[in-house]
């Protein structure tokens, strides 16, 4: 008997390979005692499946497990939808790099069978909660598993802002923006921006400047319990954007405040047994293996 009674399926939109993998999953899960539910947009790619479907925001309260077929971007969207409900996520990689979606399609039946029988590793990942305040009122916000980024939007010009951590002034900066990253996001945009890798178990937040105007501006790691406050400079001619995981955004204006802190609810990620973060780094980033095999 499986410990997961209802399994939700989410697929990468516009990907034929993801659709084929979901069909394999459906065929396999149909032989178990699991109920299968499709996320609504995914169901649109599988006409005539006859399976029940729910909007993404209903996956959390409806399912015991959600399997995401796609890349890390697909999993990020699902993570924000299910986090508040404690529903675990399992990723099947049909994207490119795939730090979070770590099951390969050719082993899908064996790996999913292990998970359904309770043979898996799980870990908790924290998200960031972001709010944009204007004249003391919240005008927008969002959650991020990877990162919150302030950037100039479509305008190629520097922006000015001040950074505060736990109420203390850190610095003012002129740059293309700032990446505020979780340990999960340290393998994503923050890594491209020159930030260090952080082990997923760390309780820390990373601040990575994007093309700063001073050579002394460097990435900084702060406590995961810190609150970061950004004050958008009054001299900005652009209207900086704030994005969460590159998928949701809020447009700011001079004088706005951006507040970022750890979200209360955590995400549960499921991995195959003996999942190894360092092995993932070796495979995905091309690190050297043992000198003698």
Indicate left, alpha or beta for 274 from its phi (over 0: left) and psi (-120 to 50: alpha). left
Rounded Cα distance, 290 and 270, in Å: 27
Q: Token pair for residue 43?
A: 């169901």
Using alpha carbons, select from 58, 116, 118, 55 the residue that is nearest to residue 84: 58
CA 35 vs CA 6, 66, 74, 258: distances in Å: 5, 12, 22, 42
| Residue 56 CA neighbour count, 13 Å, CB half | 18
Beta bridge partners of 74: none
Rounded Cα distance, 37 and 31, in Å: 15
Rounded Cα distance, 260 and 258, in Å: 7
Rounded Cα distance, 78 and 100, in Å: 12
Catalytic-residue membership of 16: no
Set 16, 64, 72, 143: catalytic member: 72
Do 250 and 241 touch, CB atoms closer than 8 A?
yes
What residues act catalytically?
72
């Amino acid at each position: 008997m499986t410990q997961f009674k209802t399994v939700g399926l989410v697929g990468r939109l516009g990907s034929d390979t993801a659709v084929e993998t979901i069909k394999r999953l459906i065929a396999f899960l149909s032989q178990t005692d699991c109920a299968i539910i499709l996320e609504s947009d995914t169901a649109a790619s599988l006409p005539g499946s006859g399976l029940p479907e729910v909007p993404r925001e209903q996956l959390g309260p409806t399912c015991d497990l959600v399997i995401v077929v796609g890349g890390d971007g697909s999993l990020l969207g699902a993570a924000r939808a299910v986090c508040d409900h404690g529903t675990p996520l399992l990723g099947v990689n049909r994207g490119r790099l795939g730090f979070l979606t770590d099951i390969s399609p050719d082993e899908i039946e064996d790996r999913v069978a292990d998970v359904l029988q309770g043979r898996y590793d799980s870990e908790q990942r924290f998200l960031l909660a972001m709010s944009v305040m204007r004249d003391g009122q919240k005008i927008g916000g969002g959650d991020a598993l990877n990162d919150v980024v302030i950037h100039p939007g479509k305008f190629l010009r520097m922006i000015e802002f001040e950074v505060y951590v736990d109420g203390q002034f850190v610095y003012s900066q002129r740059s293309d923006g700032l990446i505020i990253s979780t340990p999960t996001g340290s393998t994503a945009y923050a890594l491209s921006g020159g930030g260090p890798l952080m082990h997923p178990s760390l309780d820390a937040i990373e601040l990575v400047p994007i093309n700063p105007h001073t050579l002394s501006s460097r990435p900084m790691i702060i406590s995961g319990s810190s609150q970061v406050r950004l004050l958008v400079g009054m001299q900005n001619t652009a209207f900086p954007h704030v994005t969460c995981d590159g998928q949701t955004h809020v447009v700011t204006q001079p004088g706005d405040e951006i507040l970022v802190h750890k979200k209360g609810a955590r995400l549960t990620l499921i991995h195959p047994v003996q999942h190894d973060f360092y092995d993932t780094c070796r495979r995905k980033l091309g690190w050297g293996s043992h000198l003698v095999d």
